[in-house]
Structure 1
């Protein structure tokens, strides 16, 4: 394993991330999450570029709890603020972005190869790749009130 100082986002990410299309429904997104056994999927446009992220919590709290029908709501409505990391960025920068914005999943973009989505970094990826002390600090900052 590389040292934390030399690790890049690419070294830690889960590759092969699948997107829900911006013109697909939240029902499509929820089925994709079920089939992939994940709690979040990226939203991609017809140009294959990352447009946002949708979580299972978004679907429940921002759609169902408001009385909206997931089969009639487009994923693009939930794109929201987007944070991402370049695949070649140091893992320390990844941690900084996730901690600052208190996010648990971060899309990885290959800026040098057409600005395409190449993976996702989650807490589980971090837990497998960074020292316990650094992980504890991350958890404390992300879950702070």
Structure 2
């Protein structure tokens, strides 16, 4: 089965020049915590609710800050014609819960999440196991405030 058969096609997209408030409102409206950031049909980044909190709010930046100031610019992605098992293995290796989906012209065509995979694929358990592995980067036992 191909990713195109399970992905969400109507992914909402933020612009790098949108404000964080606009992005947060869009996340609220679509009940999601991540948005692809695009210029036209080209993917230029991803922004999460955590990016807004950590990269902007924690640094004293306000809701008028632009998405480009909080987004992750180096984005991992998959292609719509890739096999689900290959994408699940990749998501496990890089420990991500969502991937933007591109066509072979590198135009954004959707987004795939673990929940998309879980609803339609039996191979999700292995990906979930790999993604759920704790890493030092997210270990709160040594965090100091």
TM over 0.5: same fold? yes
Matches within 5 A, 1:15-34: 15-34=9-28
Residues matched between the structures, number = 133
TM-score (norm 1): 0.85
**Cα-to-partner distance string for 1:111-141 (whole Å, 9 max, x where unaligned):** 1xx432111111110110111xx32221111
Where relative contact order (Cα < 8 A, 6+ residues apart) is larger, the structure is 1
User: C-alpha separation between the residues in 2 aligned to 1:116 and 1:17?
Assistant: 13
Which residue of the partner structure matches residue 144 of structure 1? 133
**Cα-to-partner distance string for 1:56-98 (whole Å, 9 max, x where unaligned):** 1111122112211131x22123233201111111112211221
User: C-alpha separation between the residues in 2 aligned to 1:130 and 1:67?
Assistant: 42
User: C-alpha separation between the residues in 2 aligned to 1:139 and 1:85?
Assistant: 17
Q: Which of the numbers 76, 83, 86 marks the counterpart of 2:79?
A: 86
> Please, what is the CA RMSD of the aligned residues?
1.3
TM-score (norm 2): 0.85
| 4+ residue runs over 3 A deviation | none
Structure 2 residues not aligned, in runs of 5+:
135-145
Structure 1 residues not aligned, in runs of 5+:
1-6
SS in 2 for 1:89: coil
Contact 2:41 2:107 in 1 (8 A): yes
